[in-house]
Structure 1
Amino acid sequence: MWNKDSYHQIEIIRQRITELRYLAKNPAEAASGRLESLEALQTALEELKVAEEELFEQNEELIAARQALETERQRYQDLFNFAPDGYLLTDMNGTIQEANRAVAHLFSVERHYLVSKPLPARLDAGKESKG
């Protein structure tokens, strides 16, 4: 997983690269530190590769979960929209947020005309048109 340890590993790699550049410029010190730095760099790179693979797997899992969630959301949206009975979804103030086809047919309007309207106003309008 990508976390503070991953950033720490990157910082270690940067430090090792700086050391290798220094050793490349100073051949007298190169023999003692080069191999150690290369081994540490190799270890850090292997750890980063593992972290990358874990991130890739997690991303694939998230994509699959999102697709499954979207499929289920669409299923329930279709159940709501095509239900034989009229359904309204309102907020706490009674403002219509969603309306299904049956309730639009009941009020003899298209669904988008119901959305954002207060429910009591729609009920009063229904009484006037039937009266």
Structure 2
Amino acid sequence: MTFSLNVENESPSRTILHLHGRLDAQTFNDFDLAMLDVLPRLPEESTVVLDLSELEYISSAGLRSIAKIRRTMRARNGHTLLLNPRPQVRKVFDIVKAVPVNEVFANAQELDAYLDRMQRQITGEEPTSDR
């Protein structure tokens, strides 16, 4: 199986990268090259969400690629969050402790709730009763 990437600019401050297939020694370079195009265009303090729901396999080469994204985003005062990892992919992250557990989300609702809490902490806004 090969690797493919779809980029979704959800808002000026959040970009979703949909990873499909295998991110391994044969495909990581394509991913890294794509990131050289995508990441510089993102504004400071933005968030990159890696949607891993269609990622079937990740190797140490793929982990290095994700680590590079995390370093780049931190240097720009931004965030990198992981969404919907399949069990086998999540297990790899768990084993190598590559990503803090508070940056991995099971679904979009969990991610949105986290982002809502982050923003409310900054603005001091009280949560509404419908959330």
More contact order relative to length (CA 8 Å, sep ≥ 6): 2
> Do both share a fold (TM > 0.5)?
no
The structure with more radius of gyration:
1
Greater helix content: 1
Structure 1 length-normalised TM = 0.28
More strand by share: 2
